[in-house]
A = this chain, B = another copy of it.
Amino acid sequence: MATLKDVARLAGVSVKTVSNVVNGYEFVKPDNRRRVEEALATTGYRPNIGARNLRRGRTGSLALVLPELSIPYFGEMAGLVLEAAQEHEWNVLIEQTLGTRERERATLAALGPHMIDAAIVSPEALHSRDFDELDPGIPVVMLGEHSVDVPIDHVGIDNVRAARVATQHLIDLGRRRIAAIGAHPYRGTATQRLEGYRSALTAAGLPVRHDLIVQALNYHRRDGAEAMAHLLSLPEPPDAVFCFNDLLAIGALRAAAEHGTRVPQQVAVVGFDNNEESAYSMPSLTTIAPDKAAIAHSAVDLIRRRIKGGQELDPEDVQTPFSLEIRESTR
């Protein structure tokens, strides 16, 4: 592997000149430039990024910390973050936490400032004090979950409002026994979505019935199926269900079908996330569609701002747009 020195020797100039050429410095004698470029070509020189970063005091990499790539929402988000980061020539190092607090914390603590310039974290189970272990020198932006008591940049949609929109849609359909699947004891987003659901019901003069609010400790398809099976076994089953993510909703659709309950005629279903698969489920799924590309770009922009502006800037909370995608499951 050719180094700067090799190229310099071959071109008969100093490393400085080669470095100048490589880095696009303007003022290089044309003659030298030509010789250097020739030498560059014949050696097939490629800069050692590690060495460059060591010298520059940066790494050129971002960490993206998320629960699991196999979960469609995170797979899609990761892809978009990769694209957004690439626009600024960042490499992205992905870390999975599998949604356990222990691994989220360990990952956060291991985020030394030497491997990465900054991190984008999508936490699922973190407590706010876990952030104490975080190296203060490295900028972090949080996605989704929002711990208000930690002064960290955040980007996401307004979960309360989105949940209200989803629930209102079911109310507008004339549904009156509207269930919710996905309540969770400490997940912040779950709490917010539950609040939006409640406030929509209350605003419409409908009762908030606790037997129609089903907890889900995980948000996988299986959990949605179980919750829906339970709801349909009730003496008075719901005529609509708001699921706190699409996977729960997909599971719910299957449970409804197995129970012989027709969607949307007997029970309407709304999801959250707009996973790609939700446009193709049977029936296709009405869902809250966050602008994921906007989330990815905002996250990368926040990082850039933080790297430039330092840790003194006030933490920012960027709210990205969302829409309600109406499909067969409520039509």
Contacts and interface: CB of A to CB of B under 8 A. Distances in A.
This protein's copies in its complex: 2
A257 interface: yes
Interface stretch (A33-41, A120-128, A246-254): A246-254
A71 B71 CA distance: 11
A79 interface: yes
A74 B276 CA distance: 14
Interface in A25-81: 46-51, 53-54, 59, 61, 68-72, 74-76, 78-80
Interface in A72-117: 72, 74-76, 78-80, 82-83, 91-96, 112-115
B59 A82 contact: no
A277 interface: yes
B91 A69 contact: no
A221 interface: yes
A169 to B, nearest CB: 23
A50 B46 contact: no
A131 to B, nearest CB: 16
Contacts of A93: 61, 91-93
Given A50-B54, A91-B115, A282-B253, A75 B70 contact: yes
A113 B51 CA distance: 12
B49 A112 contact: yes
Contacts of A257: 282
5 contacts: A48-B114, A50-B54, A54-B54, A91-B93, A277-B277
The 7 closest A-B pairs by CB, nearest first: A75-B75, A69-B79, A282-B282, A70-B76, A48-B114, A70-B79, A46-B112
